[in-house]
Amino acid sequence: MATRVSIGDDTSFAVVGRAKQKNWIGRKWAFITEWPILPISMISLLIVMALLADTPLYGGVTGFDPVRPVLGDRLYGPGSFQNERDTTRAIEKAEKNGTAIPDRPRHWLGADQFGRDVLTRLMKGAQISLLILLIATSVGMIFGTTYGLAAGYFGGYADEILMRALDVYFSIPYILLALVAVIVFGQSVVIMMGLLALLAWPPFVRNVRAEVLSLKERDYVSAARATGASDIWIMWKHIVPNVINTVIVIATLRVGQLILAEAILSFLGAGVPPPTPTWGAMVAEGRDYVEAGWWISFFPGIMIFLLVMSLNFIGDWFRDKFDPRLRNL
Amino acid sequence: MYKFLLRRLVFSIFTLIGATVIVFTLSRVMGDPRLLYAQEGGYGMTQEQYDHMGETLGLNHPLLVQYFLWVGDVVQGDLGQSLLARNDVTDLILQKAPNTLRLGLVSWTLATIIGIPLGVMSAVKRGSLWDYIGRTFALFGQALPVFWIGIMAILFFSVKLDWLPAGQRGEGFGQIKHFILPSMTLALAAAASYLRLTRSAMLEILDSEYIKLARAKGVGTQMVIWKHAFKNALIPPLTLSALLLVGFITGTVVVETVFTWPGLGRLAVTSTTQNDFPVMTGVVLMFALMYVVINLLTDLTYALVDPRIRIG
C-alpha cells in the first residue's frame, strides 16, 4: 500500500506516498509508533487490577470488599469517603488491637445500591472475566481449528456434512440457546466458559478450512504423502504450522466479541451467579438506579468498551503484521 | 439461478429440521416434562393421574415417536400452552411478533441509511474529517455494549433531559417517540459494521484498474463513485445485512429488556426467568424460522445483484 490513487477530492490522481516513511522518534524508540502501546498498556493495567483484586482489606488497594454489603455507604457518589460510623468503628478496632490506624477509605468510583465499592468490584470482575475468557477462547480455538482442519483436509462428504452442521448450528440464535442452557444446567462459572466457547469456535472453522483447502494441494504435502506420511502427521507437521498465524489473529479479534457476549448474558441474568461481580452484571444491576446513581452502570460499561477496543486494536495490529489477507474479517 | 435457489431452499428445510431436533433434545434434557406442571407426587396427585398426564403428553411413546408427534403439532401451529398464563404459545407469539418485527425493520433501515453513506463518504474522502468521524463512529459502535448504550440513552434523554419516553409504547402518532431510543440503540452497532465493511469495499474498488480507466476516459467524479464503484462495493454490505438482521435477534433480546418493549425478545427473557419452557421453545423456533427466511431472502437478492451467481 505504498501508493494509492485518491479520488473524489481536488487532487484526483495525485499519487500520495505513505505519510511517514521516517520515524520521527528515532530508531531506539521506534516501537512506540509501531506497537499499539495504548491498548497493550490498557490490557496490562487490567491484568494488574485483576491480580490486586484479592489483596486484604484495609491497607489493600481500595480498602473495600467486593461482595460484602455496607448499608451505610448505599449509593455514595464517586470520590466520597466511607461513612462516619464504619470509619470510627474501624479506628476503634485498630486501637483496641494495637494495629496501625487505617486511612479512611474512599469510593473513587462510587458505591452501588448495596454500598459495595464499584472500583473494588470492577477489579474482582476483571479477574473473573479474564479467567473465563482465557479458557473459553482456548477451548473454542482448539475445537474450531480441529473442526476446520478436518473439514478442509478430508473434503468431500466429510466437508459437506461438517459445514452443513455448522450452518444448522448458526441457525439457532445463540443468545436463546445460552438462555435455555442456563435454565437446564443452572448458572455457574463453568457453564459460562462452555457457553462462550460455543460462541468462540465458528470463525476459526471457516478461515482454517479455506486455508487448508489450498494448503493441501501444495507440492510438499503431496511429497509427504508419497513418502508414506499418515494423515495425522501431514496435518500436524505440514498444515497446522501454516494456519497458526490465522488462528492467532482470529483469536485476538474474537476475544472482544466474547467479552461483549459475556456482558450481554450477565446482563440478561444468565451469567455467573451473584454476588460474584462481572462487568455485564454490574451494568445490569445499575439499570434500576440510573437516576440515583449513574456511576453503578457507567464505569463497568466504560471498562468493557476500553477492553474491547484495546483488543480490537491489538487484533488489527496482529493481522496487519502476520496475516494481511484477513483484512475483511 | 433456479438451481442455486432450489439448493438453498432444500438446505433451509434441513436447517429447520436441525433446529427442531436441537430444541426437542433440549426440552428432553430438562428431565420429565411432567415435573414442570407438578412436583413429583406433589399437589395431591395420584399415580394414575400422573400416568394419565404422561399419556396425554405422549410420554409413553419411544423418544423418536415423541419427536415426530411434537413436530406434527408444531407444523400445525400448535406449540403447546404457556405454563403460567395457560394460553396458547402460538397466540402469545403472534401477539408479540409484530412489535419485534417493527422494531427490527426500523432499526435496520436506520442502520442502512446511516452506515452505508457514511462508509462511502469516509472511503472517498479518505484521511479527511469525514473519515475520522466515520472511523470513530465505527470504533464506538463496535466496542460499546448495546445494553450500556441503552441505559445511558435512558439516563440522558429520558431522565435528565426528559425528551423521550424510556419504556412502554404509546398509541397512534405518539408511537414514533417511543421508537426513537430503542431503534437508535439497536441500529448503532449495525451501522458501525455497515460503515466498516462499506469503507473497506469502497477503498478496494476505488483502487482497482477499471476505476482508473473510467477516470482516465473522463467520467465525472460523482459518476465514478456512485455508478462504477458503489454498485460493486455494495455486495459485501448486502451479505452483511443478513448477518445483521440475525444479529438483531440477539439485539432485540437485549434492547427489549432495557426498554421494556413488549416483543419476542422480552418474551424470551421473561419466559426464561420464569421457567416457562413451552414459551421458550416456541420463541426459539420462531427465531430459527426468521433466520431461515432472512437467509433465503438474502440469497435471492444476492443472486439478483451479482450476475456471477445468477449464471454459475
How do residues B266-304 score in pLDDT, each as one tens digit? 888 888 777 777 788 888 888 888 878 887 887 777 777
pTM listed for this prediction: 0.79
pLDDT at A7: 42
pLDDT at B36: 63
Q: Among B249, B253, B288, which Cα is nearest to B273's?
A: B253
- Which of A270, A301, A312 faces B145 most closely, judged by CB atoms? A301
The x, y and z cell numbers of residue A315, run together, are 487484533
CB A1 within 8 A of CB B203: no
pLDDT at A25: 60
CB A285 within 8 A of CB A298: no
- A317 by Cβ neighbours in 10 Å (0-12 / 13-18 / 19+) ranks as middle
- Which of A13, A168, A179 faces B215 most closely, judged by CB atoms? A13
Which among B147, B215, B264 is the top mutation candidate for probing chain A, defined by the most A β-carbons within 10 Å of its own β-carbon? B147
Percent of residues in chain A assigned helix, strand, coil, to nearest 5 = 65, 5, 30
What is the CA B225 to chain-centroid distance, rounded? 31
User: Would you say residue A142 has pLDDT above 90?
Assistant: yes
CA–CA distance, A212 with A241 (Å, rounded to integer): 11
pLDDT (tens digit per residue) in B152-196: 888 888 877 777 776 666 555 567 777 788 888 888 888 888 888
pLDDT at B49: 72
pLDDT at A5: 43
- Which of B144, B151, B273 faces A297 most closely, judged by CB atoms? B151
Q: Return the residue of A nearest to B280 by Cα.
A: A180
Mean pLDDT (whole number) for A215-235: 87
The residue with cell 494495637 is A98
- For residue A54, the 8-state DSSP code is T
Share of chain A above pLDDT 90, in %: 4
pLDDT (tens digit per residue) in B76-93: 777 777 777 777 888 888
Judged by CB atoms closer than 8 Å, whether chains meet at B143 and A184 is answered as no
Q: Return the residue of B nearest to A182 by Cα.
A: B272
CA–CA distance, A19 with A17 (Å, rounded to integer): 6
CB B269 within 8 A of CB A178: no
- Which string of DSSP letters, residue by residue, matches B59-99? TTS-HHHHHHHHHHHHHTT---B-TTT-SBHHHHHHHHHHH
pLDDT at A153: 87
User: Would you say residue A59 has pLDDT above 50?
Assistant: no
Least Cα separation, residue A245 to chain B (angstroms): 22
A144 pLDDT band, cuts 50/70/90, is: very high
Mean pLDDT (whole number) for A16-27: 51
Q: Return the residue of A nearest to B145 by Cα.
A: A260
Enumerate the residues of chain B whose CB falls inside 8 A of the CB of residue A297: 148, 151-152
CB A135 within 8 A of CB A148: no
- B188 by Cβ neighbours in 10 Å (0-12 / 13-18 / 19+) ranks as buried
pLDDT at B41: 53
Judged by CB atoms closer than 8 Å, whether chains meet at A171 and B291 is answered as yes
- The residue among A199 and A38 whose pLDDT is bigger is A199
Task: Please list the alpha-helical segments (H only) found in A155-188.
Answer: 156-171, 174-185
Mean pLDDT (whole number) for B23-39: 68
- Ramachandran area for residue A135 (φ above 0: left; ψ -120 to 50: alpha; else beta): alpha
A27 pLDDT band, cuts 50/70/90, is: low
User: Would you say residue B48 has pLDDT above 80?
Assistant: no
A26 pLDDT band, cuts 50/70/90, is: low
pLDDT at B291: 79
Mean pLDDT (whole number) for B17-23: 80
